[in-house]
Structure 1
Amino acid sequence: MMIRFSATAAAVALGCYGMATSVHAANDMDSELDAIERIEVHAQRRPQDLHDVSVAVTLIDGEQLQQRQIKDAVELANLVPNFVASQAAAEGTTPAFTLRGVGMFDYNTSTVSPIAIYSDEVVSGGANFMTGQLFDLERVEVLRGPQGTLFGRNTTGGAILLRSRLPEYEFGGYVRASAAEQQSYRIQGAVNAPLTDTTAARFAFNWQDYQYSMNNLFPGASGGGMEQASFRLLVSSEWQQWSVLWRLHSEHWTGQPKPVYSAGVFRNLETGEWCSPAEVGSRHCVDNFGFSVPSDDFWTTSANTQHKRNRTDSWGTSLQLERELSAALSLKSITAYKSFNRFHSWDADGPGQFIEGVLGSDNDFFSQELTLFWQQPERFWTAGLFYLNERLEQNNELDLFRDFRAVPALADVPATFIYHNQLRNEAMAAYAQLEQQLSPDWQLVAGLRLTDEQTRYHANADLDTVAFYLADLWDLGGKVADTELSGKLALLQRLNPRHSLYYSYSRGYKSGGYNAGFSTSPEEAADSSYDPEYLDAWELGSRWRSSDASLLWDLALFYYQYRDQQSFVNISTGTAPYHVLKNAGDGRVLGLESDWRYRPLVATELMLSLGYIPKAKLGEYREGDILVSGTRLPFTPEWTLAASFTHQQQLAGQTLDWQLGVRYQSAIYFDQYEDPYARQQGYALWHGRLGWQATPDLELALWGKNLFNQRYAELKFDSVAALGAYTQLRGEARQLGLEVRYQF
């Protein structure tokens, strides 16, 4: 076990305290605070005023999610500064989140993201559990920056807190139905019912069926689409001094993956002359096999996906128990179990059969957490114990150059690797945080978490060729274990009742593990373990609101130092795809975030969110002839901006609700090399909505996404060695829709 807390951070924090002077008496502070709007967050595991927490938080109202047609956690990136999200290998696979430059892009389901999702306080776990539909939520809180004390397991990047709408003791509910372009249909709703004087239930559901924007010209294939059905049942009760919340949820997905766009790079195949980055994706460029794209239309492709399928089934349950042991002491227990099963077949080469495969997952998860809350006159303690046990079985395939099996001269080239991997992750942690009032204007926050985590793995692969079938090409096992400290030290300063500052140092930690990916040799499989990474984060934050609360302004400045940073590296020198997750030295990230919310009139609101990361450098990784050092972190734009305008007006006794907004991000690289062919230029996506409140219970709305039909890629991947092309997943085209909402 190693302790690496920064003495410099502690000295700076104590120095700031020593220089401070009180500017307001306690009674004046309290009286003015009572007159100011309270914005409640759960960033420290309990409801608090936003001005009382030393964490950068983005709040998103549940109604806002529904009006914006935000369907999953990937689309949350449109609402949060310095947040980028993408599907690693099309929808239905594991998503990739990057927050403030901290993230993990990997196709592999064994990878754990440094950004965790907490659904009603239950941690997401492995990569498979990061997907899910957003519906009937009270709110979402995105905690930006390492959460190394109160939120368990690998949250070096941040945490996304999803809070469901809880049962109420009054019958009611709603139904929303939407139809849009690309054969998109959605129905969602909820029913709330009191069962007894002390027990209530809420049943919520979400169903949607949609097609992607891609037009696939391959014979017998389609542009892909997905049907998703989800439900959630919550039952709350007061029982013998206990508050009980039981949760049951399930999701079922079926569909066909979005077809890829295979963009050849050669202007002249015989001479090997390359097209420019701007030309790649046009019909002027061909791949290794002479294929060019079938059309200059951005959303037209040719991909043999006619037999590709996705089927995902998952369910889970949790039990939350709370009890007040005394007037100052309370206990909370959260027990959770989740099960996940997925079959996803994919195509990465367009019209040929050169790089294809299957992702198969069977995943089980159990967690138990006990938390004690202790309120004292000048301090508040939070302490707890956390346990997690997760099992993953992978049944994957990597099918290489199948088209060559019919060519006698090339029949020894094709190979199919069949993987049977088993991983079991076990984590235990003890944590404590103290919030100590030092004076009427100053508060100290100090937290510590001790985590013991281990991953046991068994990796096995068979090889199928035209000439032979070789069982157990490799069969190996091992364990990766580490015990580490993480935590936080912060000072919160109240300059006046409307303005607070916080000075924070956090230490994040992400455990090591085994990358059970698409290895093609025993040597690659044996070299797939990786060590923990560490992140030291310094942050200065400011929260200010005007005297009438019409203007709110939050500002955060941060500086990160990575050590042994885990990095996904695409080694593109061989003909077979080879991806590794390795520790890449000491990275650096520097940036700021600024959020404004202005309400000049009761019926009008303007919002502006700005993110800026001028420095985001990767550490050094060396593997043979491959050297990566000092390049910009992938999926990390220098600028992000989100702005929106909302206005309500009365017309003939009825309400019109106008909304218009935009989300902009500057250029990003999709890999670690700063490859100009794997670069997405900056782009802006506009959205809008016009709602008509016909009656107090009935609303009709017209909505639109990507209003100006912006062309952009969600992913560009270097497949030049194997295909002479860059494999792309292209973003969705403009979509207009109608929605009806009825409340009862």
Structure 2
Amino acid sequence: MNNCSGYHSMQYSKALPVGLYSIIIGASFGVLATADEELTVMQPLEVIEVHAQRRLQDIYDVTVAVTIVDGEYLQQRQLKDSVELAALSPNFTASNAAAEGTTPALTMRGVGMFDYNTSTISPIAIYSDDIVSGGASFLSSQLYDLARIEILRGPQGTLFGRNTTGGAVLLMSAMPEAEFGGYIRTSVAQQQHYRTQGAINTPINDDTALRFAFNWQDYQYSMKNIMPGAPTAGMEQASFRLLLSSRWQDWELLFRLSSEHWQGVPKPVYNAGVFSDLAAAELCPPGLVGSRQCVDAFGLSVPSDDYWTTAANTFDKRNRTDSWSGSIHVSREFSPQFTVKSVSAYKSFNRTHLWDADGPGQFIEGRLGSNSDFFSQELTFYWEQGTRFWTAGLFYLQEELIQNNSLDLFRDFRAVPELAAVPAQFFYANSLKNKSVAGYGQLEQPLSSRLTLTAGLRLTDESTRYRARSDLDTVAFYLPQLWDLNGEVADTQWTGKLALNQRLTQQHMLYYSYSRGYKSGGYNGGFATSPEEAANSAYGPEYLDAFEVGSRWRSANDQLRWDMAAFYYDYQDQQTFVNFSSGVAPYHVLKNAGDGKIFGFESQWRYQPNQQLELRLALGYIPTAKLGEYREGEMFVANSRLPFTPKWTLGAAMQYQQSLSRGRLLWQLGVDYQSSVFFDQYESDYTRQAGYRLWHGRLGWQLTADLELAIWGKNIFNQQYTELKFDSIAALGAITQLRGEARQLGIELSYQF
């Protein structure tokens, strides 16, 4: 039986098998077999199939590091959106870096992008049913009614439409089926968290079926805001997806329509002063920041000793997001050896996010307004020629982004005559037009019964045309068109891949891979405060040479599986989000920060001694993650560690199934750990997050084949941690923080029909 969860899991419901199997490809050493040697034929083992190379293949034939997660496990983990997927894969981190409702920060093997500006293209792409995410605004999406997810680590360019240097996440929806059925699932948890999701599947005729899925949730954040009159922070999200599939003769058609709507109050920030003696400008030790012993530049300390209590001026802060997408997927099999697939997609996105970055005052506040229109067309050709297999494609993308942002600095000073010259409010009206045209191809050629060569090549032509405008408002005057800039960043590049797959035995394979990654330049439409800063916001392309050696092994009885990967990345002109922390006004911009080096290792074990018990362990280790040398004015960065890149990541989980006189119990317990990280390029102890671990668990009672009752928990031991620490010492005498979510316990009832 093929198991798309990636391992033999316990049969716990009539839906997909429960489970998670992260396949970590890795470092192992062996002697190349001679061409005339044959593989030893043993008893058949379960075939684990993946889509990592754009078609369904045995994972032992794939030279890509991939983690596979089935949809049932996603539901059991109570994973809310794509940002939380990082917990499932080693050397993958993600956070809502500037609060939920802004662009998330995704980092894979040290390659990532911390940038709250919507103009940025992430080096990690998310593909929803073959549709690429596009701009940063599209990276965060709700997780519901999915059949499976595959997380691909390393440069992905010779098989996928949009070129990425970090990796790709493939979200695969549950497809329409020939039988009527569905489910409904509802959950209630702490923080006034309510969630209902479900799906209904119905056949229309023998060749056509329809599936409608929905997800609704309403929740509050753990952070309690005690500012008088401040609204309770939380979000309501509603999503749906409609899929229509049809087959006739040699044709297949899939029509996809989806929509997401968000509205709520953003999570309030925590403003932690850094001065022990404000008059003498003496700083608190980093360990005391966040306590009442430290004050900010205005003499204010934190309002409470409780970690999840703050005082923030969020009276008018709101988030509203509306997005929808439609796509048509058409494929035709011209012969058993030759197939052509076309994917046409259109997406629309509109978001208004009002933010506060200073806590109780009105010193640094603003607005992020984004309106995006996206169109992509991809044509892929699959050709099997004996034992040789070709994949080739043509890709076109066009995305237009309109930004209506504002930055309001020191508004509270407007009422103070002596300080009235300080406040300023900037209004930004930026437009960016991104275009990408690419052709790519990949060949898989057996060299012997044990060796297969993979060779891929890609030609990419990308451009970003931008117009950046700003008006300035002060107490004394209003200055329209403080700047009005036009420009274009364009580049054309060849990239490629060479890999060798060595099948040592039926249970053990090695692969050796080299990839040349590339990410185009662009314009960083952020919060500049002068024409010089605005002109300085254009950046060039980055390049990545990625070397990797990997291994997959499993025991003869398939009880134990062990996968490893070792990789070395050589960066040129690395794009890095630089924080200029010395000025009074905050200034952050994406720049090419020289040449960087990354070296790391990944390994995962899965052990299932019997049908009742299963143990999993995934380990990621990146001892070297150097940021390239960068100098501008008084700022100099050399050989610092890449932000958002922990040295260690670890995920461990256990599940045990127990039969009862009535029904079954499934026990699940796990922990996710990451070591310390820095949130900017300075490696300051004030912006360092110490290592932490988050425990999760679930106890499910399947009363009948169709009905299940479960209790679940996230952050069970109430671990204190931050999603972001931002250096606001020059402006506010404080470290601005977004703190993670506290313990949450919930109960869930699900029914399948």
User: TM-score of the superposition, structure 1-length normalised?
Assistant: 0.96
3-state SS of the aligned residue for 2:60? Answer: helix
Matches within 5 A, 1:480-559: 480-559=489-568
Are the equivalent residues in 2 in contact too, given 1:24–1:496 (CA < 8 A)?
no
| Number of residue equivalences | 725
Identify the residue that residue 12 of structure 1 maps to in structure 2: none
Deviation at 1:399, TM superposition (A): 0.3
Which amino acid in the other structure matches residue 541 of structure 2?
Answer: P
Identify the residue that residue 274 of structure 2 maps to in structure 1: 265
3-state SS of the aligned residue for 1:649? Answer: strand
| Distance of 1:204 and 1:265 partners within structure 2 | 49
Residue 618 (structure 2) pairs with residue 613 (structure 1): no
Which amino acid in the other structure matches residue 315 of structure 1?
Answer: W
Q: Choose 648-657 or 207-216, whichever is displaced more.
A: 648-657
Match of 1:713 among 722, 744, 749: 722
Are the equivalent residues in 2 in contact too, given 1:52–1:492 (CA < 8 A)?
yes
Are the equivalent residues in 2 in contact too, given 1:450–1:486 (CA < 8 A)?
yes
| Distance of 1:92 and 1:319 partners within structure 2 | 28
Which amino acid in the other structure matches residue 20 of structure 1?
Answer: A
3-state SS of the aligned residue for 1:663? Answer: strand
| Distance of 1:284 and 1:23 partners within structure 2 | 74
Deviation at 1:549, TM superposition (A): 1.3
Residue 295 (structure 2) pairs with residue 283 (structure 1): no
Structure 1 residues 23, 269: closer, same or farther in 2, change over 3 A? farther
Identify the residue that residue 144 of structure 1 maps to in structure 2: 153
| Distance of 1:153 and 1:572 partners within structure 2 | 34
| Distance of 2:538 and 2:30 partners within structure 1 | 44
3-state SS of the aligned residue for 1:65? Answer: helix
Matches within 5 A, 1:161-180: 161-180=170-189
Which amino acid in the other structure matches residue 143 of structure 1?
Answer: L
| Distance of 1:342 and 1:698 partners within structure 2 | 38
Identify the residue that residue 640 of structure 2 maps to in structure 1: 631
CA offsets, 1:292-311, max 9 Å, x none? 10011100000011210000
Residue 334 (structure 2) pairs with residue 325 (structure 1): yes
Matches within 5 A, 1:84-95: 84-95=93-104
Are the equivalent residues in 1 in contact too, given 2:107–2:644 (CA < 8 A)?
yes
| Distance of 2:702 and 2:724 partners within structure 1 | 40
Are the equivalent residues in 2 in contact too, given 1:213–1:223 (CA < 8 A)?
no
Identify the residue that residue 480 of structure 2 maps to in structure 1: 471
| Distance of 1:46 and 1:431 partners within structure 2 | 15
Are the equivalent residues in 1 in contact too, given 2:662–2:703 (CA < 8 A)?
no
Residue 318 (structure 2) pairs with residue 309 (structure 1): yes
Unaligned runs of 5+ in 2: 1-28
Matches within 5 A, 1:225-236: 225-236=234-245
Which amino acid in the other structure matches residue 528 of structure 2?
Answer: S
| Distance of 1:214 and 1:432 partners within structure 2 | 49
CA offsets, 1:124-161, max 9 Å, x none? 00000101101000011000111121123341000000
| Distance of 2:683 and 2:92 partners within structure 1 | 19
Deviation at 1:223, TM superposition (A): 4.3
Q: Choose 220-229 or 49-58, whichever is displaced more.
A: 220-229
Identify the residue that residue 710 of structure 2 maps to in structure 1: 701
Structure 1 residues 518, 648: closer, same or farther in 2, change over 3 A? same
Identify the residue that residue 4 of structure 1 maps to in structure 2: none
Which amino acid in the other structure matches residue 392 of structure 2?
Answer: A
Identify the residue that residue 114 of structure 1 maps to in structure 2: 123
| Distance of 1:730 and 1:22 partners within structure 2 | 57
| Distance of 2:182 and 2:263 partners within structure 1 | 28
Q: Choose 606-615 or 594-603, whichever is displaced more.
A: 594-603
Deviation at 1:23, TM superposition (A): 7.9
Matches within 5 A, 1:153-168: 153-168=162-177
Deviation at 1:242, TM superposition (A): 1.1
| Distance of 1:614 and 1:655 partners within structure 2 | 44
Residue 217 (structure 2) pairs with residue 208 (structure 1): yes
Are the equivalent residues in 2 in contact too, given 1:316–1:339 (CA < 8 A)?
yes
Identify the residue that residue 657 of structure 2 maps to in structure 1: 648
Residue 465 (structure 2) pairs with residue 456 (structure 1): yes
3-state SS of the aligned residue for 1:332? Answer: strand
Unaligned runs of 5+ in 1: 1-15
Match of 2:33 among 20, 23, 28: 20
Deviation at 1:377, TM superposition (A): 1.2
3-state SS of the aligned residue for 1:631? Answer: coil
Deviation at 1:88, TM superposition (A): 2.2
Which amino acid in the other structure matches residue 310 of structure 1?
Answer: N
Are the equivalent residues in 2 in contact too, given 1:88–1:107 (CA < 8 A)?
yes
Identify the residue that residue 435 of structure 1 maps to in structure 2: 444
Are the equivalent residues in 2 in contact too, given 1:452–1:482 (CA < 8 A)?
yes
| Distance of 1:19 and 1:522 partners within structure 2 | 59
| Distance of 1:299 and 1:262 partners within structure 2 | 12
3-state SS of the aligned residue for 2:608? Answer: strand
Identity %: 69
Residue 304 (structure 2) pairs with residue 295 (structure 1): yes
Identify the residue that residue 10 of structure 1 maps to in structure 2: none
User: TM-score of the superposition, structure 2-length normalised?
Assistant: 0.95
Identify the residue that residue 135 of structure 1 maps to in structure 2: 144
CA offsets, 1:148-204, max 9 Å, x none? 211233410000000000000000000010000000000001000001111001000
Identify the residue that residue 696 of structure 2 maps to in structure 1: 687
Which amino acid in the other structure matches residue 440 of structure 2?
Answer: Y
Are the equivalent residues in 1 in contact too, given 2:32–2:502 (CA < 8 A)?
no
Which amino acid in the other structure matches residue 252 of structure 2?
Answer: S
Which amino acid in the other structure matches residue 250 of structure 1?
Answer: S
Are the equivalent residues in 2 in contact too, given 1:214–1:223 (CA < 8 A)?
no
Deviation at 1:467, TM superposition (A): 1.1
